[in-house]
Copies of this chain bind each other. A is one copy, B any other.
Amino acid sequence: MVKQERALRTRRTVLEAAAHVIGHRGYQAATMAEIIQRAGVTKGAVYFHFTSKDALARAVITEQAEPFLPQVSASRLQDAIDFTHQVSLALRSDPMLQAGTRIAVETTFSEEPLMPYQVWTDIITTMFGEARDNGELLPGVTPERAAEFFVAAYMGVQLFSRAATNRADLPERVTALWKHTLPGLAAPGALSHLDPRGRRTQIRI
C-alpha cells in the first residue's frame, strides 16, 4: 500500500516534469533525458510508468482536465461558460494545460495526431446535453456537434491570445467567444439570463 502510494507519487512527479519541459520547449524539442533530469528520479522509474515521450504526452492530454470540476447549477450553459473561464485563467500558469496546448498544435500535422481536443469535447458535450434537457438550447442544436465546434473555436481563440498578448487578453477573448456563439446556442428565454463573462472567479479543486 505504501509502495503503491510512492509509485503514484513518482508517476505524478514525472508527469509534472514532462508538462514543464514540453510547455517550455515544445513537444518535438522535449527529450526524455531532460524530463528525467527535471523529475529527479531514476531512468528506470520513469520508464516503469511511461515507455516513451508519446506515452507521456497521452497522459498529459488525458489528465490535464482532471483538476477542473465544472460546477453544477440550475443553468448548465452558465456552468459551461464559467468552466471555460476557469480553464482560461489556469492556462496562464498551469504547466499541464500549457503542455496540452503545445502537444495539440505540434501533433496536428503529424501522421497520428493525438487529438487532445477530445477530453474537452466530452466535458462540454455533457454540459450542453444537460442544458438541452433543461430547455436551455435552441431547437436544432446538437450537443456533440456544438461542443466540437466550440472546442475548436476555443483552441483558435487561445492561440490567437497567446500570439497577440501572451494570454493577457484571454478572459476578454473568451467572453467575446461566448458573446458571438450564445445567440446560436441558447434558447431566447435562457439567453437573457446568461453572463458571457462568467459568474465569478471559480475555485480550482
Residues of A within 8 A of B (CB): 26, 28, 102, 104-109, 113, 115, 117, 138, 145-146, 148-157, 159-164, 173, 176-177, 179-185
Q: How far is the CA of A152 from the CA of B180 in the complex (A)?
A: 12
Closest B residue by C-beta to A142: B176
Question: Contacts A105-B105, A108-B163, A152-B173 given; 8 further ones with Cβ under 8 A?
Answer: A104-B159, A113-B164, A117-B160, A145-B176, A156-B156, A156-B157, A181-B181, A183-B183
Q: Bound state CA distance, A183 and B156, in angstroms? A: 20
Residues of B within 8 Å of A152, CB to CB, are 153, 156-157, 159-161, 173
B residues less than 8 Å from A159 (CB atoms): 104-105, 108, 152, 155-156
Contacting residues, chain B, for A149 (C-beta < 8 A): 157, 173, 176-177, 180
A113 in complex: contacting residue of B107, B138, B163, CB < 8 Å: B163
Nearest B residue to A182 via CB reads B184
A185 to B153, CA, bound (A): 16
- CB nearest to A141 among chain B residues: B180
A145: chain B residues at CB < 8 Å are 176
Jot down 16 A-B pairs with beta carbons below 8 A, ordered by A. Answer: A26-B109, A104-B159, A105-B108, A105-B159, A109-B162, A138-B183, A145-B176, A148-B176, A152-B156, A152-B157, A152-B161, A153-B153, A153-B156, A153-B157, A155-B156, A179-B184
